[in-house]
Amino acid sequence: MSIYFIGDIHGCYDELCKLLDIINYDDNNDQLLLTGDLIFRGNKSLEVLKLVYKLKNTNIVLGNHELNLLALYNGILLKNTIFSITNNVFSSEVEELINWLKFQPILLINKIKKFIVVHAGILPFWSTKKIIKYSKEIEFLLKSNYYKYFLDFLFKNIVNEELLKLFTLYKLKCIKFNINVFTRIRYYYNYYQLDNKYLGNPINKPTHLIPWFNKVQILNKYSIIFGHWSTLTSKYTPNKIYNIDTGCCWGKKLTALCWDNKKYYYVNKN
Ligand SMILES: [Mn+2]
């Protein structure tokens, strides 16, 4: 039995199949963990979702593009407001997939193998306990009957009274900040404000920006496997920080990491 991670697939279904072939993935014995952003940009998003949905020993964490899909499906975002959306995600089969997606976690933690999987990142001072608590709050809202209201708040800042029965406005704002950290962070500045402009490597970064993975406290206990940052090169990340988004949808490659021997496998974009 082996554990494999695969980075951001973004609708690159053919490359995913090839990669599963190369690692000889056995759904009965191995485990596959995906860093989120399975969809959009590439043109086979629906095929990717259907495949992952049917694999039984596979777990994903939600990325910003899965949240976009949930918002699109609920009419909170409009199709033409998302530049990366492609053709065929909205077929008749999608309802079942949406219901499955909203039950997927923001974070995976393996306390025995000592790793955490998240789409984008965490903040350096967050303890294991906090990370679990913050992710559970988000997962609770996504699974709940109030999930459309939560998406309204997330994408449009609309506060429904029903939400305020669950959390105070201040708490809701904290939850929104946390979900943005888990699914979108690359750099922060000034008391942990998230930057969404600079995508490059730390070597050329504007001086006020700090990459999220600098001085992460829980690295003394856990490794972190993440995606979301296809322009980040591994020589700029500390030990135990594994970025496995290698920009397949941008014409580069799709990456798998085998946890047992830390070996990487690649498939170039077709
Ligand atoms: Mn992403």
pLDDT at 218: 98
Write out pLDDT tens, residues 239-258: 999 999 999 999 999 999 99
Cα(79) to centroid of ligand 1, in Å?
18
pLDDT at 83: 55
Low-confidence stretches of the chain (pLDDT beneath 50): none
Cα(175) to centroid of ligand 1, in Å?
18
Cα(119) to centroid of ligand 1, in Å?
7
Give the chain's domains with CATH numbers: 3-268 (3.60.21.10)
Write out pLDDT tens, residues 109-130: 999 999 999 999 999 999 999 9
pTM of the model: 0.95
Cα(165) to centroid of ligand 1, in Å?
31
Cα(84) to centroid of ligand 1, in Å?
11
pLDDT at 105: 98
pLDDT at 209: 98
Give DSSP secondary structure letters for the chain: --EEEE---TT-HHHHHHHHHHTT--TTT-EEEE-S--SSSSS-HHHHHHHHHH-TTEEE---HHHHHHHHHHTTSS-GGG-TT--GGG-STTHHHHHHHHTTS-SEEEETTTTEEEESS---TT--HHHHHHHHHHHHHHHHSTTHHHHHHHHHH----HHHHHHS-HHHHHHHHHHHHHHHH-SEEETTTEEE-S--S-GGG--TT-EETTTT-GGGGT-EEEE-S-TT--GGGS-TTEEE---BGGGTSEEEEEETTTTEEEEEE--
